[in-house]
Amino acid sequence: MEAFYIKGGKRLVGELEIGSAKNACLPILAGALMCDEDLNIAKCSYFTDIEIMINILESLGCETKKEENNLYINSKNASCHIIKEEYTKKVRSSIFMLGSLLTKFKKALVAYPGGCNIGTRPIDLHLKGLRTLGVKIDEKHGFIDCDGSNMKAGFVHLDFPSVGATENLMMACVKLKGKSVIYNAAKEPEIIDLQNFINSMGGKISGAGTSTITIIGVDHLHSTNYTPISDRIVAGTYLIACAMTGGHIKLKNTIPEHNLAVITKLKQSGCDVDLFENEIEIKSSGKLKSCAIETQPYPGFPTDLQNQMLALQTISKGTGIIVENLFETRFKIYGELTKMGADITIRDRMALIKGVDKLYGATVTASDLRGGAALVIAGLSASGYTTVEDIYHIDRGYKNMENDLNILGAEIKRIEI
């Protein structure tokens, strides 16, 4: 098994370019199935989740070819509408394929996605929305069996602005004759990116980024060369890492407005942050103040940066509070941070964090993607050495995180244990 071995106490200093967003690339790859012509996804970040999604497309009969960061896809010969459990248990976003499979084949047979360590991850909103559009859905033997032969354009109101359900429904409506509308849609930047990707193929979607998305059905989607947006969660993770180590970094190829929630909290914590057109510069004295955080759908504070801010609050003066509104078990790492000397009390969806002077290196175990990233940045700031185990979780959403951090002056290496 691989682990990260981290020598703590090094300030992060320097410049780093941020790559394309995992949570933009995943729905875009799902959407690629709907087009029968050559597609190029430029600057594609090959996180393990992306690699699995590419394998899913190949299992359906799509042709793919990687040339450095260019990913070529042609789905003309795709003929299979089934996604097996071996894939859905590895990457939850395989559930996004329901919409594109229905647009492509008017049917879909997808194994139930596993939950994961941050919560049960239900898919009721996805299925309710598809049923509203006339999809006949049977859930049996662990599979979701969809018959879209009678699908019609219509309007769907989501009980909750679910990112995945919004993306699934957008893709299900792309070729439905007439006008479809999604109300109470999620407003994440990755939703806008999916709209822009589909429109670059000739789709007619508008309103992404607001809570009402309109899709006018089209007959044909054509070739495109598309570059997904920058990863706001990777950027936010490194901003928080810099804050914890008292560093000074500049992140390039970012979209600062996508990170306003975390930038506001870092300023409240005592950091200086300057924004440029597509760069974010942060300076930290390492002397941090506690703050209050409540996770919300975008543009609220992102749940995917909650664990990283939990780590930062462990060494922030005062008592911080974090309320996690999106996922019911997203404080799993508090036990691991406690091993490093943190003083955290968890009550249901609330964490109370009493700041300590410093954390101490320890051997800790990642149990999910963003929690693992939070343990790494805690190790960067701790005194002594930290080993983070089960780093395969981290590789799902950070490509060679150790390389990025070493570019910024950290001392972290990937070891076999």
Among 326, 342, 391, 410, binds ligand EPZ (CB under 6 A): 326
Q: What is the rounded CA–CA span in Å between residue 211 and residue 265?
A: 25
| Shortest distance in whole angstroms from residue 113 CB to ligand EPZ | 9
- What is the torsion angle, in degrees rounded to the nearest 10, for the CA atoms of residue 199, residue 204, residue 210 and residue 212? -150
User: Between 129 and 168, how does the x/- string for binding to ligand EPZ read (CB under 6 A)?
Assistant: -------------------------------x-xxxx---
| Shortest distance in whole angstroms from residue 95 CB to ligand EPZ | 8
Q: Is 121 in the site for ligand EPZ (CB under 6 A)?
A: yes
| Shortest distance in whole angstroms from residue 9 CB to ligand EPZ | 28
| Shortest distance in whole angstroms from residue 77 CB to ligand EPZ | 27
Candidate segments 36-44, 116-124, 282-290, 356-364, binder of ligand EPZ by CB under 6 A = 116-124
Nearer to ligand EPZ, 73 or 169 (CB): 169
| Shortest distance in whole angstroms from residue 124 CB to ligand EPZ | 5
Nearer to ligand EPZ, 165 or 271 (CB): 165
From 25, 44, 62, 116, active-site residue: 116
Q: Is 122 in the site for ligand EPZ (CB under 6 A)?
A: yes
Indicate the residue whose CB is closest to ligand EPZ: 164
Centre a 10 Å sphere on the Cβ of residue 219 and count the other Cβ atoms it contains.
7
Nearer to ligand EPZ, 58 or 124 (CB): 124
Q: What is the rounded CA–CA span in Å between residue 51 and residue 57?
A: 10
Tokens of 106: 């008017």
Residue type, 42: A
User: Between 23 and 52, how does the x/- string for binding to ligand EPZ read (CB under 6 A)?
Assistant: x--x--------------------------
**Integer distance in angstroms from the first to the last C-alpha of the chain?**
6
User: Between 187 and 226, how does the x/- string for binding to ligand EPZ read (CB under 6 A)?
Assistant: ----------------------------------------
Burial zone of 409 (CB within 10 Å; 0-12 exposed, 13-18 middle, 19+ buried) = middle
* Alpha-carbon distance values, 398 to 12, 26, 218, 327, 391 (Å): 17, 14, 36, 21, 10
- Residue 352, Cα to own-chain centre: how many angstroms? 25
Q: Is 306 in the site for ligand EPZ (CB under 6 A)?
A: no
Residue type, 45: S
Burial zone of 129 (CB within 10 Å; 0-12 exposed, 13-18 middle, 19+ buried) = buried
Q: Tell me if residue 212 falls in helix, strand or coil.
A: strand
Candidate segments 119-127, 174-182, 247-255, 283-291, binder of ligand EPZ by CB under 6 A = 119-127
Q: Are residues 244 and 31 in contact, defined by beta-carbon separation less than 8 angstroms?
A: no
Q: Are residues 181 and 166 in contact, defined by beta-carbon separation less than 8 angstroms?
A: no
Q: Is 185 in the site for ligand EPZ (CB under 6 A)?
A: no
Residue with tokens 């109470």, as numbered in its chain: 184
| Strand 70-74 versus strand 292-294 pairing type | unpaired
Among 124, 138, 139, 272, binds ligand EPZ (CB under 6 A): 124
- What residues does 353 pair with on adjacent strands? 320, 344
| Shortest distance in whole angstroms from residue 169 CB to ligand EPZ | 11
Among 10, 11, 126, 248, binds ligand EPZ (CB under 6 A): 126
Q: Are residues 147 and 139 in contact, defined by beta-carbon separation less than 8 angstroms?
A: no
Query: Rounded to the nearest 10 degrees, what angle do helices 163-173 and 189-200 cross at?
Result: 20
Nearer to ligand EPZ, 143 or 327 (CB): 327
- What residues does 210 pair with on adjacent strands? 208
| Shortest distance in whole angstroms from residue 119 CB to ligand EPZ | 6
Q: Are residues 107 and 130 in contact, defined by beta-carbon separation less than 8 angstroms?
A: no
Active site residue 173: no
Residue type, 78: A
Among 9, 61, 107, 119, binds ligand EPZ (CB under 6 A): 119
Nearer to ligand EPZ, 304 or 336 (CB): 304
Q: Tell me if residue 168 falls in helix, strand or coil.
A: helix
Candidate segments 124-132, 173-181, 359-367, 399-407, binder of ligand EPZ by CB under 6 A = 124-132
**Enzyme catalytic residues:** 116
Binding site for ligand EPZ (CB under 6 A): 22-23, 26, 93, 119, 121-126, 160, 162-165, 186, 303-304, 326-327, 369-370, 397
